[in-house]
Structure 1
Amino acid sequence: MDAQVLVIGAGPAGLAVAGSLAHRGVRAEIVERGEALGTSWRNHYERLHLHTVKQYSALPHFPFPKHYPRYVSRSQFVEYLEAYARAFGLRPRFGEEVEAITRDGARWLTRCASGLSFLTGCVVLATGANRFPNRPTLPGEEDYGGRLLHSASYRDAQPFAGQRVLVVGMGNTGAEIALDLVQHGARAALSVRSPVNIVPRDVLGRPTQLTAIALSYLPDSVADRISTTVRRLAVPDLRPYGIEVPAMSPLRQLREHGRTPVIDVGTVASIRKGEIDVRPGIAAMTRDGVRFADGREEAFDAVILATGYRADVARLFPQAQVPVRDKGLPAEIAGTGPFAGVYFVGYDLRQTGGLLRSIGKQALQVAESVVERVATAPA
Structure 2
Amino acid sequence: MIEESHVIIIGAGPSGLAVGACLRERGIPFVLLEQSDAVGASWRRHYQRLHLHTVKQFSSLPGLAWPRYAPPYPSRAQMVDYLQRYAERFRLEPRFGAEVVRAYRDGSRWVTQTRAGEFTSRALVVATGYSRLPNVPTWPGQERFRGPILHSSTYGSGAAFRGQRVLVVGSGNSGGEIAMDLWEHAAETTVSARSGIHVIPRDPLRLPAQFSALALYGALPPAVGDRLATAFLSRTVGDLSRWGIHRPEIGPGTRAVKEGRIPLIDMGTLALIQQGKIAVVPGPRAFTETGVIFTDGRELPFDAVVLATGYRAGLGDFLEDAARFTDERGYPRWHGAPTPTPGLFFIGFRNPITGQLRDIAAEAPRVARHLRGVN
Q: TM-score, normalised by structure 1?
A: 0.95
Q: Secondary structure at the match of 2:183?
A: helix
CA distance in structure 2 between the aligned counterparts of 1:159 and 1:138, rounded to whole angstroms: 24
Q: Residues of 2 paired with 1:322 and 1:166: CA distance?
A: 38
Shift of 1:218: 2.0
Letter in 1 for 2:152: S
User: Which residue of structure 2 lines up, in the alignment, with residue 181 of structure 1?
Assistant: 182
Q: Which structure 2 residue ranges, 5 or more long, are not aligned?
A: none
**Separation (CA, whole Å) in 2 of partners of 1:358 and 1:71:** 17
Question: Does residue 209 of structure 2 align to residue 192 of structure 1?
Answer: no
In the alignment, what sits opposite 2:50? 48
Task: Tell me the CA shift for residue 224 of structure 1.
Answer: 1.7
Measured in 2, the distance between the counterparts of 1:102 and 1:51 equals 36
Equivalent positions of 1:101-120 (< 5 A) are 101-114=103-116, 116-120=117-121
- Paired residues for 1:4-19 under 5 Å: 4-19=6-21
Corresponding residue for residue 38 of structure 2 = 36
Distance 1:246 1:320 in 2: 31
Change (3 A) 1:39 1:157: same
> In the alignment, what sits opposite 2:349?
347
Specify the code of the residue in structure 2 equivalent to 1:265. M
Partner secondary structure for residue 68 of structure 2: coil
Helix, strand or coil: the match of 2:29? coil
Report the CA distance shift for 1:160/1:317 in structure 2 as closer, same or farther (over 3 A): same
SS at match of 1:47: coil
Deviations 1:68-110 (A, max 9, x none): 1111111111101011000110000111110111122211010
CA positional deviation for 1:243 = 1.3
Q: CA deviation at 1:317?
A: 2.6
Letter in 2 for 1:139: P
Contact kept, 8 Å, 1:18 with 1:27, in 2: the verdict is no
Matches within 5 A, 1:141-152: 141-152=142-153
Percent identity over the alignment is 46
Shift of 1:295: 1.6
Instruction: Give the structure-2-normalised TM-score.
Output: 0.96
Structure 2 distance, partners of 1:320, 1:45, is: 30
Deviation at 1:41, TM superposition (A): 0.2
Q: In the TM superposition, what whole-angstrom CA distance separates every residue of 1:314-346 from its partner, at most 9, and x where no partner exists? A: 332335643212320010133433x21011000
Within the candidate set 86, 97, 100, 1:98 is matched to 100
1:329 correspondence with 2:331:
yes
> SS at the partner of 2:373?
helix
Q: Which residue of 2 aligns with 1:155?
A: 156
Query: 351-360 or 140-149, which moves further after superposition?
Result: 351-360
For 1:82, give the aligned amino acid. Q
Q: Could you say what secondary structure the match of 2:329 adopts?
A: helix
Partners in 1 of 2:137 and 2:310 — Cα distance?
10
- The aligned runs of 1:1-379 (5 Å cut-off) are 1-114=3-116, 116-216=117-217, 217-319=219-321, 321-333=323-335, 334-337=337-340, 339-349=341-351, 351-373=352-374, 377=375
Indicate conservation of the 8 Å contact 1:322/1:330, yes or no.
Answer: no
Q: CA deviation at 1:258?
A: 2.5
C-alpha change, 1:335 and 1:214, in structure 2 (3 Å) is same
What displacement does 1:197 show? 0.8
Task: Give the Cα separation in 2 of the matches to 1:299 and 1:220.
Answer: 42
Q: CA deviation at 1:34?
A: 1.0
- Contact 2:338 2:370 (8 Å CA) reproduced: no
Q: How many residues align?
A: 371
Superposition RMSD in Å: 1.3
Match of 1:283, SS state, is strand
Does the 8 Å CA contact 2:150/2:307 hold for their aligned counterparts?
A: yes
Displacement after TM superposition at 1:353 (Å):
1.3
Distance 1:320 1:278 in 2: 38
Query: Is there any run of 5+ residues in structure 1 with no aligned partner, and where?
Result: none
3-state SS of paired residue (1:204): helix
CA distance in 2, matches of 1:219, 1:137: 38
